[in-house]
Structures are given as structure tokens and as C-alpha cells.
Amino acid sequence: MRQLAWLLAGVLWLTSCGPREPVVKIGFAGPLTGDQAAHGLDLLRGAQLALEEAQRQGPILPGHRVELVAMDDQRSPTQAVSVAKKFVADPDVMAVIGHLNSSCTMPASAVYHTARLLELSPVSSNPQISRQGFETFYRICATDDVQGPAAAQFLMDQLQARRIFLIDDMTTYGRGLANEFARAVQEHRGQLLGHEGIPQGEKDFAPLLTKIKSLAPEAIYFAGMYPEGALLIKQRYELQVPAIFMGGDGLFEEALVQLATPQAAEGVYLTTLGGDIAGVPAAQGFVRAYEAKYGAVGAYSAYAYEAMNIVLWAIKTAGQKDRAAVLAAMKHLKEYSGILGVHTFNEQGDTRNRIIGIFTVRNGRFTFVTQVVK
């Protein structure tokens, strides 16, 4: 027994004394548990894939090991802040990819800003986040002041639906998107029959949908995420509400169709914060690699993949393990061509590559309809 103890002590001593390679950490924050975990996992896998591919091509920062550290913000703004504080407190973290929800990105971005830590948001689309004027904040997706009007125009011009009922999920993202949508509807002289909020986590929408049915709108627009969206779609079908159903990018998740049942989801429209990557030749390598590793490409995976590649570019360009240098490198990024398009960031940190894709559910699958470029 005593020999074993000595042996163990010896092994511990040996391992602790070996030369330790310095590590550079890239943070990832998103909901990895809770109802939106599927979205979070899509993002995380995209980021992981980008890092693995880059590492296969050679060292990112010579003499350093690059690691992805994922943390769960549970889609809760308070959790997001505590995750942000953990990243900030770790001197090895050079950049953060995240968060998913605008309600999380908003408060967390202030934490990253005070610590001069680069944050690259893949899909948080509320325009207010970049208007805070934090030079640490960048994002690679289009924002809701483009997404809302694009959806409103599509509904009114292409689908001839002018009587619209608006629902949002009372979050930073949902309310923000709904307001942009409502403004566009009024500008185009559409008729907004009502605007109601639903709490996240709620499951019974029959009373609201019955009310909507009695108003007989031509379309229902929902600004929110897929768990509630799926139930709205399902219960709308059960209540035989004939209106067209359209939603924002929060619905862009394969699980939506399964949760809502394919027959109820058929013909639902939604917008995305970028074009259709299936039509981009440069993205096909990503699609094949992702499918080989994880199966069907998650809706948000490409955004996290792109974000990770840009972060790696910034670290490479900085050439040293230093937050300020990484941040400074981002300023030099111009016409970066990725799988979602060519990115140049404006002074607020938003990409100038502003494309809104419009998809519909056909035979239980998301099918690309058209895209709007701003």
C-alpha cells in the first residue's frame, strides 16, 4: 500500500513539473441546457468545427495551445453576466463567441467592454446592442432593423397579407424585432390588428389564438424563439386558424418542425439573418465536414463557424497572447470573405454584409424562398 502511495506521489510530481505549454482560450457562451439548448448546441458545434479545421492546418499562435471553453448561460441574462465575468477573470481568454439571445448579449457586452475583451456575437440581432458604442463588440449577422421590415414587406407584397396580428415573447430580441416589424407594417399602410406578448416557457396559447381567430387576420407574425413558436404553430393548426404564420430567425431550428408536427408546420415562413448557405459554393466544404461529424447542419452552426474563423484570424494577426492586440487586429479586418459573405465591419461593429434569407417549411424541411440584400 505504501509503495503505491509513493508511486502515485512520484507520478504526480513528474506530471506537475513537465514544461507546460501556454494556453490561449476562446470562450463560447450560449444556452447549453434548458428549452433552447438545441440552438446552443448548433452554435457550439459550428465553433468547434472551425477550431479543429484551423488546428489541422497548423498552429494558430506558435508556442500556444488554443482551446475552446464553452459555458452555459441558460438563456438567462443574469447567468450570462456571471458567465461573462468568469471569462473576463480568466487571463487566458482572448475572445468570446456569444451569446445567443439578445437579452443575454446586451448585459454581457458591457462586462466584456470594461475588461477590453473581444466579443463576437454570431446571431444576437437586436440593433440596440451595437448602438451602445462598445468597441469590443462585433457581430456577423444582419440586425432586426433589417429583418423586421424584410418580413413585413414579404408578407404584404409577395403574400398579399395586409391584415396582420403580431405576437412577441417579451424579450429584448422578441420585443425589439416586433417593434421593427410593426413600424414597417405601418409605413407600408398594412393593418396591425393587435400586438400581444407571451411569456417564455408558457405552453398554452389556445386563449390567444382563439382571440386571433375571431379577428380573422391574413397573417400572424411571431417574434420569438422556437419552443414557443412550435407550440403556437401546433395549436394554431388545432384551432383551425387559417392565417399564414411567419416568424423571425428564432424559429430557424430543425426541432421546430418536429415539435410543431410536420403537418402543422407546413407552409410556415421565417426569416434568417443571412442567406442560404446551401447556395454558396464556398460553404460546401463546411456543410460536408459538419455533416460527416455531427449529422445535419444546425440552423445557426454556420454563424458560429464564421465567428470562430474571424476570431482565429484576429488572434493570428495579433501574433501574441494579448487582449488589446487581438482587439486592435479586429480593426484591420476588411473584406473578410467567409461562408456567409464578405464581412467588413462598420464603426459600431456590425457587418456590412446584411442579407435576410426567407425560408418556408415544405414537406417538413426548411426550403429557401428568396433573399433580401440591404
Partner 1 sequence: MTWYHTLLQHLINGLALGAVYALIALGYTMVYGILQLINFAHGEVFMLGAYFGLSALLLGQVTGPLPGVWCWWVTGMMLLAILGCSLTGCAIERLAYRPLRRAPKLSLLITAIGMSFVLQNVVMLTYGAQDRHIPSVMPTIRWTVGGASVTAMQVVLVCSGLVVMLALHLFIRRTRVGWAMQATAQDPVAARLMGIPVDRIIALTFALGSALAAVGGVLFGLYYATVNFHDGYLMGLKAFTAAVLGGIGNIPGAMLGGTLLGLLESVGAGYLSSQWKNVFAFVILVLLLICRPRGLLGERVVDRD
- Positions touching partner 1 (CB under 8 A) are 33-35, 37-38, 170, 196-199, 202-208, 210-211, 213-214, 216, 227, 230-231, 234, 237-240, 255, 258-259, 261, 263-264
Residue number with CB closer to partner 1 (296 or 342): 296
* Smaller CB separation from partner 1, 143 or 301: 301
Edge-to-edge strand list for the sheet holding 65-72: 65-72, 23-30, 93-97, 118-121, 137-139
Least distance between partner 1 and beta carbon 304 (Å): 18
Minimum distance of partner 1 from residue 160's CB (angstroms): 22
Q: Which is nearer to partner 1, 146 or 167 (CB)?
A: 167
Q: Is 295 exposed, middle or buried (0-12, 13-18, 19+ CB in 10 A)?
A: exposed
Instruction: State the minimum distance, in angstroms, from the CB of residue 116 to partner 1.
Output: 33
Residue 371's beta-bridge partner residues? 357
Beta carbon nearer to partner 1, 216 or 324: 216
Q: Report the distance separating Cα 262 and Cα 300, nearest Å.
A: 21
Please, what is the minimum distance in Å from the beta carbon of residue 316 to partner 1? Answer: 35
Closest among 202, 212, 203, 267 to 236, alpha carbons compared: 212
The 8-class DSSP code of residue 288 comes to H
Smallest distance, Å, CB 217 to partner 1? 12
DSSP string, 235-281: HHHHTT--SEEEE-GGG-STHHHHHH-HHHHTT-EEEESS--GGG-G
Please state the three-class secondary structure of 300-361 as a single string.
Answer: CHHHHHHHHHHHHHHHHHHCCCCHHHHHHHHHCCCCEECCCCEECECCCCEECCCEEEEEEE
Closer CB to partner 1, 176 or 275, in the complex: 176
Which one, 54 or 100, has the nearer CB to partner 1? 100
Smallest separation, CB 306 to partner 1 (Å): 25
Residue (44 or 355) nearer to partner 1, CB: 44
Contacts of 202 (CB under 8 A, 6+ apart): 228
Cα within 13 Å of Cα(71), Cβ side = 24
Asked if residues 253 and 240 have their Cβ atoms less than 8 Å apart, the reply is no
Q: How far is the CB of 265 from partner 1 (least distance, A)?
A: 12
